[in-house]
Amino acid sequence: MSDTAPPVPPVAVKCLVWDLDNTLWQGTLLEDEDVVLSEAVREVVAGLDARGVLQSVCSRNDHDLAWARLEALGVADYFVVPEIGWGRKSDAVRRITEQLGFAPGTVAFIDDQPAERAEVAHHLPEVRCYPAEDAAALLGLPEFSPGPVTVDARQRRQRYQAGFRRTDERARFPGSHEDFLRSLEMVMRVGRATEDELSRVEELTLRTSQMNATGVHYPDAVLRSLLARPGYEVLVTTLSDRFGPHGAVGVLLLRKHAEAWHLKLLATSCRVVAFGVGTIILNWLADQAARAGVHLLADFRATDRNRMMEIAYRFAGFDERPCDCRAAVPGGSGEDVQLLHLVPGRRDAPTTARLTAPDLSDPAAAVTSGGPE
């Protein structure tokens, strides 16, 4: 057996930022308004979008003129948070990265000018830079090939665009944050994972770190094996509102014992932190445990990124203080993992979404509750 370590796969690119002149299109717009888009580049743009890779543009150009040309070429809708103006490219790429909430190491930049690539690389060394002549080959590079493409991945760009519209409306909304959430007419569904949904669940646990209660990532094979094991519940949460669907936004792994239920994993998408998804899920699960007459315990491992998830647990009534109920969970939790228990009592959480979820004590039943008041 070889003792050579396997190669480490490159970090996936979450967003590719395109220069325009002589990169995305052929020609210089200020010299020729009829610049053209090659079929090869058009296929790359559509192909990356289908894989769930977001795309933006960063160009020294007149904004209105450049955007009108993108619309005329039929590709404007592919690009989010565009930066078209006369400033430094590195500043524009940084603004794109911050608006998307991505780490610089997950962003790539492509430009025909070596000086522009060098300027971005100097100020943003984690951003990967590519020459324009490599554009047609991007689909073949591993960092632009995220593996199995899920339904959520194919719709990622539309969901980000809906999110920007949602944010704009929130800025204009005159009422409180809770009133705004109610105005969204949110509908949340919790359901048992199916074979088709498992890849969506794996992707969520891999992409989410801020709202992962333990930091544990469950690969597809493990989730499939747990799906078939008695006593385990693998649950997927989806969310929609009047702006459109958010897709899969949460995953739960629950181990059901005779006297206690053990929540081994709760991960929710960072995109929906402001909507209180984690708290709504935990409150539903607490009600389910009460109906079944069992204790509810949950694994939690504090990291430097999941502070918001810890707040959700505390807000829902979970506590780390000693409790005899821990004996009802054989084996306890792993190293460095706290086993929190739910303290009975009223949970003061606003109702901002209509929730449809299974009755975990009756596999054939479902419950519906809540909704904007």
260-273 pLDDT, tens digit each: 999 988 888 877 87
Residues 255-284, mean pLDDT to the nearest whole number: 86
pLDDT of res. 373: 46
What are the helix (H) ranges across 155-259? 156-172, 177-183, 198-207, 220-227
Q: Please give the mean pLDDT across all residues of the chain.
A: 85
**pLDDT classification of 207: cutoffs 50, 70, 90:** low
Task: Judge contact between 193 and 235, C-beta under 8 A.
Answer: yes
Task: Judge contact between 74 and 164, C-beta under 8 A.
Answer: no
* Residue 368, burial from CB neighbour count under 10 angstroms (0-12, 13-18, 19+): exposed
pLDDT of res. 213: 67
Higher pLDDT, 312 or 43: 43
Tell me the per-residue pLDDT of 323-336, one tens digit each, with 9 for 90 and over.
Answer: 888 787 876 666 67
Q: Is the pLDDT of residue 39 over 70?
A: yes
Structure-block tokens of residue 210: 């801020």
Q: Is the pLDDT of residue 22 over 90?
A: yes
Q: Which domains does the chain have, with CATH numbers?
A: 15-144 (3.40.50.1000), 176-370 (3.40.630.30)
The residue among 126, 156, 157 whose CA lies nearest residue 143 is 126
> pTM for the whole thing?
0.71
Residues 269-281, mean pLDDT to the nearest whole number: 82
**pLDDT classification of 106: cutoffs 50, 70, 90:** very high
Q: Is the pLDDT of residue 210 over 70?
A: no
pLDDT of res. 199: 67
At 21 the three-state DSSP class reads: strand
Residues 6+ apart with CB under 8 A from 210: 270, 273, 305, 306, 308, 309
CB atoms closer than 10 angstroms to residue 62: 15
**pLDDT classification of 204: cutoffs 50, 70, 90:** low
